[in-house]
Structure 1
């Protein structure tokens, strides 16, 4: 079943976040700022590895998806060691927003782009803790704690978590990507233009080896 987060619903999701995340700005103020923004903020493509690697692997994932956490914690480290660090593969990570908590987590991870993958790793490793906090405030606090542990200052973190214009741009960017690549579940992968579902490491290795050989 396709689960696409409507752009029109962004304000409602942010309204909850505006209250729970920091209180630095009201939800109404944040939404007004987003609406008043004439130029959408730039969305940085998160890339791990050599940008000129012969094989491109795009991962579509949600920070609240348990299967995505399992891939990040168990499969990705092996792919990184054997394919990304060796220059064979570059990984492009693209956020998927199925719920407001995944959006909040992305806002924290993207607060300092150079720290994105490190923060994403922390988010996935502790997913079982922060996602079960039991309330919007508890989840927001858990995500804020991750940002602070990653070295983001409190003031910058609050600004990132209440950036309505950035959130609106991210939701539009997500919908454009997900619609174009027909993403209906997470994690999903596009390897050199071909779609793949989640697999074991051995299956990924076979596919990546085939694409690498074809690229030579």
Structure 2
């Protein structure tokens, strides 16, 4: 899909996609032989690895030791229900148990299934880099209410589709309550409007996101890579044994 095609898709027609256009939640019993644990790596003085955030060359947001021997990458869509499930089952364990050791770093990369994903990602990236993953996680934690918001004002959304690009996304975010949602979580409505009006930056984001997903042959969300190798599965019960086999504890 070209950038112009993605940005011009009618949002109303995409509502059903938010429920089905992501990977299934396949799981195994997780019986994977464990490798030897890698010793914990101390963070710089006065820091914790869970507070270290890096924007990677691929455009992802990595939390943890940038030189961690185990790197887990998730390609995710903010409107994907399976991604939402992983955000509530796997991410808390990754961030509270594995990342603090300095052995595991977790990187989130975008996949845009529809224009709503572009709006949500732009708002999540609008503030400090340290806020991106926490804001994304809050979107997924409220997945069903967010979907309801996106479907709550179809007339206003339809009208916004006719606006210039530098006005369209802010108008949609206003009409669907997304500006209010993010404002309640620390990103002011004015900040959100300004980010959504930056059409050049949004187009660059879409280009980068698409190029990286194409390069890694990502066709559904979530898709995981562990140290560059694709993980065959989407559920935490599949991902955690792979981390442990690599030496995470």
Q: Taking structure 2 as the reference length, what is the TM-score of the superposition?
A: 0.67
Q: Which moved more, 1:167-176 or 1:74-83?
A: 74-83
Gaps of at least 5 residues in structure 2 are 12-56, 158-171
Deviation per CA, 1:2-43, whole angstroms, max 9, x where unpaired?
A: xxx421314425x97xxxxxxxxxxxxxxxxxxxxxxxxx98
Partner of 2:225: 190
Q: Which moved more, 1:129-138 or 1:55-64?
A: 129-138
2:138 pairs with 1:122: yes
Partner of 2:3: 7
2:111 pairs with 1:111: no
2:203 pairs with 1:168: yes
What is the alpha-carbon root mean square deviation over aligned residues?
Answer: 2.3
Aligned counterparts of 1:199 and 1:167: Cα–Cα separation in 2: 28
Partner of 2:110: 95
Aligned counterparts of 2:148 and 2:96: Cα–Cα separation in 1: 31
Shift of 1:131: 1.3
Aligned counterparts of 1:111 and 1:153: Cα–Cα separation in 2: 10
Q: Which moved more, 1:204-213 or 1:86-95?
A: 204-213
Deviation per CA, 1:115-143, whole angstroms, max 9, x where unpaired?
A: 11111111111110121232355772332
**Aligned residue-pair number:** 183
Aligned counterparts of 2:204 and 2:139: Cα–Cα separation in 1: 22
Aligned counterparts of 1:170 and 1:104: Cα–Cα separation in 2: 11
Aligned counterparts of 1:43 and 1:205: Cα–Cα separation in 2: 24
Gaps of at least 5 residues in structure 1 are 17-41
Aligned ranges 1:1-216 → 2 under 5 Å: 5-13=1-9, 44-112=59-127, 113-133=129-149, 134=151, 135=153, 137=156, 140=173, 141-212=176-247
